[in-house]
Every structure is written in structure tokens, then in C-alpha cells.
Amino acid sequence: MSEESSSPARFGDGRLLVVAFEGWNDAGDAASGAVTVLRDSLGLEALYELDPEQYFDYQFTRPVVYTDEEGRRRLRWPTATLYGPTAEEPEVLPPAVVAEAPVSGAENADDPDSIVGALQRVDNIFVMLGSEPSRSWKNFAAEILDKALVHDITGIVVLGAMLADVPHTRPISVFASSESAELRHEFGLERSSYEGPVGILSVIADVADVVGIPTISIWASVPHYVHNAPSPKATLALIEKLEEITGVPVPRGDLEDEATAWESGIDALAGDDEDMAAYIEQLEQARDTVDSPEASGEAIAQEFERYLRRRGDGRDGYADGRDPGPR
């Protein structure tokens, strides 16, 4: 047997399902925003929608009224939808999507190694997007995994975002972990040591492990003091990590400009609030201590413990990248 045929298959070469849910696992709308960008960039279409009557408490997650393109009033019910490529052959992406790809002048769609060429031939990415269910989590996860098996999914990536004691002025912290020893070796990931309450992402990952589909969890840390607004900077950080894991380039669109504007807006708010500015400075010092090349293992451990202690003050803030505390 040749060396090539005996080497293990790469995670990104299989059929991947990328999952995010609005709500408990989605601080700053970062995870759902990243999956929405991926779905739209690849031109994926709805393949399956879960029945909301089985999984949602409408007093907790209410339907939304909107006006459709024909001017009619409609109700949009909370649900979760599986999206994927519908053609047997890879579809050419819409020109507007291809135009947004971060390509150099030398790259073109005829070059199979170019970013545009890669986008045009992607046919192995599926996404699941929706609201976190209110009940029947076991059945909900089982239904999703059943559809994953129907579509021959070989790997799952779950995206989440948590509120944490981190400064908005530094790069967004992203933590990736996996229960699969093979994936930890392939990507240099860690194994989460978190113990405590979890969200639907952990349930899906657990069921996936039972049926033999390896899973990677990717979490972004969003500054807790700006929890009421979407965080394009965190969305961008998740997309960058997702590209690394899947090997699929994702057009940024206006995300980079929006991330810069988001950071500038918070700077302006802090400029008018001395207490907020002082608090952010403390977070910056703590972050720089952890990130410094000379930081000792003990110093990093102390900062890590300080973050974990925040769990007891009623604020969402976990530093280990697993599910954040209840909100």
C-alpha cells in the first residue's frame, strides 16, 4: 500500500457541517453571524427545516412578524435549518460573491489554486443555523445528527461566542478544542477541561461523538461590557479560525470595516467614561501579561483562575472556550 493511500484523511477534505445557534451560545451574534456569512458566501440553499412546534417555547423564543417582498405581513417562526449545496456538481458562485473574495490581481477563476477557484469548487460544506431550542434537546440533537448521516457528513464544527473579561482593543481570543485525539494532533488543539452547565452545542457534539462523527468546537470571547451590540470583530475572528480548520476561504465583505468601526465606537464611549476607561486598561494589562513572551506558566494560570472566578458574579465569562454560564 502506498504512503499516500495509507495516510489518514484530512478533516477539511470530508463533508463538513458547521453549526451555530442564536441565543445562549451566541454572545454579540458572533457565531450566528459567522455561519450566516459562510452560508451566503457559498450560496447554500435550505435542505431541511426542523418543526418548531416540537422544540420551542414561544413565550421564550417568540415568532417575529415581518413584511415580505410583496408587501404582505408574515410570521417567521423560530427554528433551525440545514443548508447545503443542492447540485451534484459544484456550483459557480454568484459574481458578486466572487468579487468580494480577497484575491490578488494575479488570481483568477481559471486557476484551481486561486482563492476564487477554491470558492467555485466548494461542495463539501453544509451549515446548520437557527435558534437554540427550549425543550427536547435529546430529540433535537438526534434529528440533526440523523440528517448529518443522510448527507454523509464526516466532521462537524460548532461555533460559539461567550461574554468574558477581555478588552475590545486586543485581538479577539478564540479557543478551539476537540474530543478527537486525531483532530487535536492535526490542528494542534486542546481538550476542554470545562465542567458545568452547557448549551445545545455541547449536546450536539456529544451525540456526534456517539455516532462516530468527530467534532471541533470553536469559541470566541466577546467583551462583556458591550454585550448588547453585535460584535463584527468576534465574527471576523471566528471566520478566520474556521478558514484554518476547513481550508475554505470566506469573503470578508464589509466585516473588516465594521470591526474597525465597532472598536472605534467603544473607544469613543470609554473616552467619556473614566470608570469604563480604567476598567478597560486593567483588562488590557491582564491580557498583555498572558500574551507576553516572558509570561510564566504560573502567571498565565493566575489570570486564567481570575477569569473563571468571574462566573460567580452574575456575569457571563468563561475563559476555557466551552459553553459560557447561564444567561
Q: Spell out a b/e string for 74-99, using b for 16 or more CB atoms within 10 Å of the CB, else e.
A: eeeebbbebbbbeeeeebebeeebbe
Categorize the per-residue pLDDT at 122 as very low, low, confident or very high, splitting at 50, 70 and 90: confident
Q: Which has more confidence, 172 or 326?
A: 172
Residue 94 has φ and ψ, to the nearest 5°, of -55, 145
Instruction: Output the nine-digit C-alpha cell for 38.
Output: 459562510
* pLDDT value, residue 76: 93
Q: What does the alpha-carbon distance between residue 193 and residue 200 come to, in Å, rounded to a whole number?
A: 18
Enumerate domains of the chain plus CATH numbers.
Answer: 10-85+122-313 (3.40.50.10900)
DSSP secondary structure string, 252-270?
A: -TTHHHHHHHHHHHHHHHH
What is the reported pLDDT for 252? 87
pTM for the full model?
A: 0.78
The yes-or-no verdict on residue 133 having pLDDT over 70 is yes
Q: Residues 50-100: pLDDT tens digits?
A: 999 999 999 999 999 999 999 999 999 999 999 999 765 444 444 444 445
The upper half-sphere exposure of residue 196, i.e. CA atoms within 13 Å in the direction of its Cβ, equals 15
Span 217-250, pLDDT tens digits:
999 999 998 888 899 999 999 999 999 999 999 9
- Amino acid identity at 320: D
- Answer whether residue 300 shows pLDDT above 70: no
Where residue 293 falls among pLDDT bands split at 50, 70, 90? low
Average pLDDT for residues 179-183, to the nearest whole number? 94
| Residue pair 316/324 in contact by the 8 Å Cβ criterion | yes
**Averaged pLDDT score across all residues of the chain:** 82
pLDDT attached to residue 298: 56
Q: Do residues 87 and 45 make contact, with C-beta atoms less than 8 angstroms apart?
A: no
Residue 322: pLDDT band with limits 50, 70, 90: very low
Confidence of residue 303 (pLDDT cuts 50, 70, 90): low
14-53 pLDDT, tens digit each: 999 999 999 989 999 999 999 999 999 999 999 999 999 9
**E-assigned strands of 165-258?**
174-178, 215-223
| Residue 290, pLDDT score | 73
pLDDT of residue 307: 52
The percent of residues in the chain predicted with pLDDT above 90, rounded, is 59
Most confident of 3-17, 90-104, 137-151, 244-258: 137-151
